Homo-oligomer: A and B are copies of this chain.
Amino acid sequence: MNQVLQNLQPRLADIFTHLHGHPEISWQEKKTTQYIANLLKEARMEPQLFEDMTGLYVDIGEGIPRVGFRTDIDALWQEVDGKFQANHSCGHDGHMTMAIGTALLLKDMEHLLPGAVRILFQPAEEKAQGARAFVEKGLIDNLEYLFGVHVRPLKELQDGTYAPALYHGAAKLFTGTILGEEAHGARPELGINVIEVGAAIVEGLQKIWTDPNVSASIKMTQFNAGGTSTNIIPGKATFSIDARAQTNEVMQALTEGLERVRVSVEAMYGAKISLQVDAHIVAALVNDEALQHMNSAIVDVVGEKACASPVITPGGEDFHFYTYERPTLKATMLGLGCGVTPGLHHPKMTFNRERLFTGVNIITRAILRAL
């Protein structure tokens, strides 16, 4: 296998260069999807595309696939050198390269595989929507294991070290409105001052208690009320709330706490408070068997010394929706220490591309161990 991977390296380097130079934003990854499909077809594989959306998957080996690997394929939209454009500053170009390398490597040894493998090329990770769409298409229904990968910044993993799991946190963004009652400043008793209602919500958030062993926070991040007249008691406000928790249980506790705050403040002030969830990224659910397979694969490839501890990070990943929606799925994400600088999502983000080949090696071995 090592010799085959060695021979693949110049081709994977070209593939990375192509993908890096052709970024496409979430749900618009049409050329990326077609590029990958063509490449897999040329290697005698049968990629499956969708009529209603971007992304694809391919199965390698005989029978129903029990082990999967997922990559994200979209880019960010950001300002680069003063110009707004799609940009692969989150490393999805590298993730795709590793997924393609893994597919090519597995295809090469297809006759030796004890079972089938599914490689998932998932769109719209940056919008936290693609994983949900793949779950709805039933693409993970028969999988026992699912692996993923993410390049890591220097401060989380040294270049050339690898972690068998990434513990991302959960994030939930709410927006809301408060309807009170306008009144003249001299007649406060005739109004319902939405700023006082908002202040009571802020105070209420500080009374939601959760497990102190799990890091969490819930904060109001926007509040707007009142027009140009300072002598009118405002009757309408909009606000947003940002909630974070290192586990999904604590995020659920924050969500239930927020609802208690909403009901109690409504009752106190006679105002109408509406809330909606604008975004929800679940926390990592890492399976110990999957983690052990990944750990062994890392040790196989780079030795004990380069195998790091699992990484705990407050960032989010929509990979974890797979396990959130299918709790029996055994999953983990490889943390690839490749010296990302200046940081993820920085327009000039760059990293040590040599690590992609090591990544393909580790991922393929983890899959083989799980098969």
For chain A, residues 208 to 261, give those with C-beta under 8 angstroms from any C-beta of chain B. Answer: 217, 219-227, 229-234, 237, 240-242, 244
Interface string of A165-197 (1 = CB under 8 A from B): 000010101010000000001111000010110
B199 touches A198 (CB 8 A): yes
A242 to B187, CA, bound (A): 11
A203 to B193, CA, bound (A): 13
Determine whether A354 belongs to the interface, using a CB cutoff of 8 Å to chain B: no
B226 touches A230 (CB 8 A): no
Determine whether A114 belongs to the interface, using a CB cutoff of 8 Å to chain B: no
A219 touches B198 (CB 8 A): no
A230 to B244, CA, bound (A): 13
For chain A, residues 18 to 39, give those with C-beta under 8 angstroms from any C-beta of chain B. Answer: none
Interface string of A137-166 (1 = CB under 8 A from B): 000000000000000000000000000000
B198 touches A169 (CB 8 A): no
Q: Which residues of B contact A200 (CB under 8 A)?
A: 199
Interface size class of A (residues with CB under 8 A): 35 or more
B203 touches A219 (CB 8 A): no
Determine whether A13 belongs to the interface, using a CB cutoff of 8 Å to chain B: no
Interface string of A101-141 (1 = CB under 8 A from B): 00000000000000000000000000000000000000000
Determine whether A315 belongs to the interface, using a CB cutoff of 8 Å to chain B: yes
Q: Which residues of B contact A185 (CB under 8 A)?
A: 171, 219, 221, 242, 244
Q: How far is the CB of A126 from chain B (nearest CB, A)?
A: 13
Which has the most chain B C-beta neighbours within 10 Å: A193, A220, A314? A220
Contact of A173 among B222, B227, B231 (CB under 8 A): B231
Given contacts A185-B242, A221-B226, A226-B240, 15 further A-B pairs with CB under 8 A are A171-B186, A187-B314, A188-B219, A193-B220, A195-B220, A195-B222, A203-B203, A219-B233, A221-B229, A221-B231, A221-B234, A222-B230, A223-B226, A224-B224, A233-B242
List 17 A–B pairs whose Cβ atoms lie within 8 Å, in order of A's numbering.
A171-B185, A171-B231, A175-B230, A185-B242, A186-B244, A193-B221, A195-B220, A196-B220, A198-B202, A199-B199, A221-B229, A221-B230, A221-B232, A222-B226, A223-B237, A224-B224, A230-B278
